[in-house]
Amino acid sequence: MRAVDMFEAGCRQVDVVNALGVTAQAASRWYHAWRAGGREALVGAARLGRRPRLSDEQIEQVEAALLAGPKAHGFATDMWTLARVADVIERVTGVRHSPTQTWQILRQRLGWTRQRPARRAVERDDAAIEAWVKQDWPRIKRGLDDPAPGSASRTRADSPSCR
């Protein structure tokens, strides 16, 4: 419709191409359709493809159920998988979806993204790691030939030979 506004204001096709970032072919098609039928000729077509199997109200119910968390639905861990989400969708709406369809619902209708959990060992000791990084890592990084700060320096000539 912005192209129609531009055509009605006297702009050329090349102006539409530059302003809207479309191809010359698209601008030409729009121009000729506009000349032949006016603004109505460029009104968007009806929705293409199959209608969604879930209504907006059902999507809201699914989202509320998902926000309750996996454990609220009897799963052992607090991690969603596509199979688990599909199971919840079927319980809430009675409509079964494949993993691909489930992913489309999550991405397009709910706006959710894929998240990966941080993988950390249960036994992880952050204080011990921090101490190791401050004390042991500098010594390891210097290597065997490099003396510790403050100690007498040895050169390769002073070190025993292994001949």
| Residue with tokens 């098609």, as numbered in its chain | 29
State pLDDT tens for residues 87-115. Answer: 999 999 999 999 999 999 999 999 998 88
Going from N- to C-terminal start, the domains of the chain cover 2-42, 56-109
State pLDDT tens for residues 16-53. Answer: 999 999 999 999 999 999 999 888 888 875 667 888 89
| Residue with tokens 């249960």, as numbered in its chain | 122
State pLDDT tens for residues 115-154. Answer: 887 777 888 888 999 999 998 888 888 876 555 555 555 5
Distances (CA, A) of 160 to 51, 90, 129, 151, 156: 83, 76, 35, 18, 8
pTM reported for the whole predicted model: 0.48
Q: What is the per-residue pLDDT for 49?
A: 80
